[in-house]
Amino acid sequence: MKKIVLALLAVGSFAALKAQTVFTYGKNAVSKEEFLRAYNKNPSTATDRKKALKEYLELFINFKLKVQAAYDEGLQNDPTQQYELQNFKKQIADNIINEQANIGELVSEAFNRSQKDIHLAHVFVEVPAKADSAEAYNKIQSAYKALKEGKEFGRVAEEFSTDAAAKQSKGDLGFITVFTLPYEFENHAYSLKQGSYSAPVRTSIGYHIFKNMVERKPIGTRKVAQILFALPTNSSDGEKAASLKEADSVYNLIIKGASFSELASQISNDLSTSQNGGELAEFGVGAYSPDFEKVAFGLLKPGEISRPFLTSYGYHILKLIEARPVSTNATEIETVAFFRDRLQKDKRLLQAKKNLLKKQLVATKYKRAVFNEADLFAFIDSSLKKATPDPVKGISSNTVLFSFAKLNIKAGDFAKFAKAVRTAPNEFSGLDNKALLDQYVSVTASEYYVTHLEDYSKDFTNQVKEFKEANMLFGVMDKKIWTKANTDNIGLVDFYNKNKGKYTWNPSADAIIITAANDGIAEEVRKKLLVNVANWREITGSYNPQVTADSGRFELGQLPVVDRTNFTANLITAPVKNVTDGSLTFNYVIKVYSTADQRSFDDARGMVISDYQQVLEDRWLEQLKKKYAVKVNTAVFNTIK
């Protein structure tokens, strides 16, 4: 029994120890949790973790002291600081709400679906808004019965579909992939096995029976430019022949070297793209008609030109700009970013956010007040006619309708919302007062939740605190150290004079460093400098922006050279190729200083400022440590593994 009690006491002591602070400064304390969170965001690569922790402890103490000094300076009230903090809060709030809406799962789902294209067909019986769906239901059941009896899918789609397009195409929707169709359609499509069809399903527009005709590996996306020779609907054979003759002649011009983009701007009938060389936005399967996509996706090499082909719009000539395959790496940063970006614009994420409402209502302590709905709606109708509506059976602008933990929502607030909805077209237009009230609860709850997110998300609170402190640190360092060091000329000169020995030149040279965009330009500039180096600014400037140049005194080790070089006056060094962009850099050496000598104050100014800033910072930290006594809780610190 004694051992059990001692064990429990040990566990309790450990939990208490974990909750204690790592250090205090003045009246402030830093917990073990906060210290570790900061350390793990800036982990050391050193193998001696104990030493790394001690070094980071000193850095973190200094950081906290500076931030406290920023608070003492009142920087938290600076308008720029507040503006940047509010922008950051909004950005982080969006990210956290997205995570709570399981955007990660949606990304994973979208990626998995992107790994195959589905040739989809459907039987479609439309149900107009507010229409009785009984007849449509019976019709789709009849279609389903016909399929079960063995009737061919295309014939059933043609016979039973009420949508003209579905009838004409025999239900064929072509190949689709993720994001091609509305999410509710996509869900049904990707739930089917190849060759199977669904039972009748209801969507927002009617009844469907979907069929997965066949699957294939994804063919990715294409970016093409087009020249369109438009034809009117129901054009005659003669009109088609004349249009094809014109398209063939243009195609032959392109094959012989004529500019595709210039011809597109001159003769293409697609006014939306003709002014940008005929370029269409990047697209995947399902974006255009199957006959257009068959040709577009048949182009494989950038620059490849299609022969003229006919669609319902007329004859097209396509030029492939880029063929992008579908990524097969679910964890690749670019892939995740792509799907997150697409989801930000997709209704499935909006729906996922709406699904959070029940949780948000509980978290915000939503409570509906007792009131008569009919009287409230009469008051709302009155408020639409009068700027100051009269009370209706006890309902006035100050009547509380519902509340959250720290906010009451009143009838006057709802009246303003209703007036805004009725005044201009929006997503809530057409709703009656009862439905509008439900939507107002949803909107208000979401707004309140985001505004008070620090009450519901520890991650949000931590990120906001870290950003605020980092921003305030920058502000106080600029005020106390950086600006002061840059403008204190007397202090800088005095510091330079006392530390002259630190500021010397190693062997150096007066030189011009030139960077050219390519080999040809580099060679042209080199030849011109050899003839007339005195006009180097004019020579290099004439090639702007393909050539940049900088002159000054440089230590020999700073000059970019291919290998060990014997520097002499009037030497032009061999070009060095920059691997990042293929540009070339070379030097024109004007004068060589073969021995070390003293730097002037002007030459050393940058280094002096840097060193002087460090001196000012060290002095300031000494003052802060005296102002805010620092005490490290060694017992807690030693528990960090």
> Does the domain made of 107-216 have the CATH classification 3.40.1000.10?
no
Label residue 261 exposed, middle or buried (CB < 10 Å: 0-12, 13-18, 19+).
middle
Cβ 94 vs Cβ 145: under 8 Å: no
Between CA 161 and CA 209 the distance in angstroms is: 10
Residue 16 has pLDDT above 60, yes or no: no
State residue 298 phi and psi, 5-degree precision.
-80, -15
Query: What pLDDT score was predicted for residue 18?
Result: 47
Cβ 167 vs Cβ 158: under 8 Å: yes
Mean pLDDT, residues 179-194: 95
Between CA 233 and CA 314 the distance in angstroms is: 9
**Among all chains, which residue has been given the structure tokens 């438009």?**
230
Cβ 460 vs Cβ 96: under 8 Å: yes
Q: Which residues pair with 549 in a beta bridge?
A: 514
Top CATH class, 504-598 = alpha beta
Residue 547 token pair: 């050539």
State residue 126 phi and psi, 5-degree precision.
-75, 145
Query: For the chain, what's the residue count?
Result: 641
Answer positive or negative: Cα dihedral of 543, 544, 547, 549. Answer: positive
Mean pLDDT, residues 430-457: 94
Mean pLDDT, residues 164-182: 94
**Among all chains, which residue has been given the structure tokens 């996706």?**
297
Query: pLDDT tier at 425 (50, 70, 90 boundaries)?
Result: confident
Query: pLDDT tier at 19 (50, 70, 90 boundaries)?
Result: low
Cβ 320 vs Cβ 299: under 8 Å: yes
Residue 251 token pair: 């195609």
Q: Quick count: other Cβ atoms within 10 Å of Cβ 400?
A: 15
Q: Quick count: other Cβ atoms within 10 Å of Cβ 609?
A: 17
Query: What pLDDT score was predicted for residue 49?
Result: 84
Beta strands in 413-461 (DSSP E): none
Q: pLDDT above 70 covers what percent of the chain?
A: 97
Mean pLDDT, residues 21-50: 89
Cβ 187 vs Cβ 109: under 8 Å: no
Mean pLDDT, residues 514-520: 92
Query: pLDDT tier at 7 (50, 70, 90 boundaries)?
Result: very low
Question: Is residue 544 helix, strand or coil?
Answer: coil
Between CA 226 and CA 306 the distance in angstroms is: 10
Mean pLDDT, residues 268-286: 92
Between CA 103 and CA 122 the distance in angstroms is: 29
Fold matches, 107-216 and 504-598? yes
Q: Quick count: other Cβ atoms within 10 Å of Cβ 442?
A: 14
> Could you give the count of Cα atoms lying within 13 Å of 117 in the half-sphere of its Cβ?
18
Cβ 454 vs Cβ 363: under 8 Å: no
Query: What pLDDT score was predicted for residue 253?
Result: 96
Q: Which amino acid is at 429?
A: S
Query: What pLDDT score was predicted for residue 388?
Result: 80
Residue 585 token pair: 């850099």
Residue 490 token pair: 């007397």
Cis peptide bond N-terminal to 507, omega within 30: no
Convert the pLDDT of each residue in 74-105 to its tens digit. Answer: 999 999 999 999 999 999 999 999 999 999 99
Answer positive or negative: Cα dihedral of 191, 160, 285, 297. Answer: positive
Of 519, 586, 513, 517, the residue nearest 547 (C-alpha): 517
Query: What pLDDT score was predicted for residue 10?
Result: 41
Convert the pLDDT of each residue in 289-331 to its tens digit. Answer: 889 999 999 999 999 999 999 999 999 999 999 999 999 999 9
Between CA 35 and CA 22 the distance in angstroms is: 7
Mean pLDDT, residues 139-155: 97
Q: pLDDT above 90 covers what percent of the chain?
A: 82
Convert the pLDDT of each residue in 518-577 to its tens digit. Answer: 989 999 999 999 889 999 999 999 999 999 999 999 999 899 998 777 899 999 999 999
CA angle 19, 23, 29 (to 5 degrees): 70
Query: What pLDDT score was predicted for residue 17?
Result: 43
Query: pLDDT tier at 228 (50, 70, 90 boundaries)?
Result: very high
Q: Calculate the alpha carbon distances from 2 to 8, 13, 463, 479, 542 in Å.
A: 10, 16, 45, 61, 90
**Among all chains, which residue has been given the structure tokens 């005490």?**
631
Residue 13 has pLDDT above 50, yes or no: no
Strand ordering across the sheet containing 367-368: 367-368, 400-404, 407-410
Q: Quick count: other Cβ atoms within 10 Å of Cβ 69?
A: 22
User: What does the DSSP 8-state code read for residue 224?
Assistant: E
Q: Which fold has domain 221-324?
A: Chitinase A; domain 3 (3.10.50)
Query: What pLDDT score was predicted for residue 42?
Result: 79
Convert the pLDDT of each residue in 337-391 to its tens digit. Answer: 999 999 988 889 988 988 899 999 999 999 999 999 999 999 999 988 887 888 8
Label residue 533 exposed, middle or buried (CB < 10 Å: 0-12, 13-18, 19+).
middle
Residue 591 has pLDDT above 60, yes or no: yes
Q: Quick count: other Cβ atoms within 10 Å of Cβ 580?
A: 6
To 10 degrees, what angle do helices 601-627 and 49-72 make? 90
Between CA 68 and CA 231 the distance in angstroms is: 73
CA angle 467, 472, 474 (to 5 degrees): 100
Question: Is residue 283 helix, strand or coil?
Answer: strand
Between CA 98 and CA 361 the distance in angstroms is: 17
Mean residue pLDDT of the chain comes to 92
Between CA 197 and CA 219 the distance in angstroms is: 24
The answer to whether the predicted template modeling score (pTM) of the entire model surpasses 0.75 is no
Cβ 476 vs Cβ 73: under 8 Å: yes
Residue 95 token pair: 């990210």
Between CA 146 and CA 161 the distance in angstroms is: 13
Per DSSP, the residues of 22-64 read EEEETTEEEEHHHHHHHHHHS----S-HHHHHHHHHHHHHHHH
Label residue 324 exposed, middle or buried (CB < 10 Å: 0-12, 13-18, 19+).
exposed
Q: Which residues pair with 225 in a beta bridge?
A: 279, 319
Extents of the domains making up the chain: 107-216, 221-324, 365-451, 504-598
Of 518, 641, 523, the residue nearest 574 (C-alpha): 523
Convert the pLDDT of each residue in 99-137 to its tens digit. Answer: 999 999 999 999 999 999 999 999 999 998 878 889 999
Residue 397 token pair: 């602008």
Query: pLDDT tier at 471 (50, 70, 90 boundaries)?
Result: very high
Between CA 608 and CA 601 the distance in angstroms is: 8
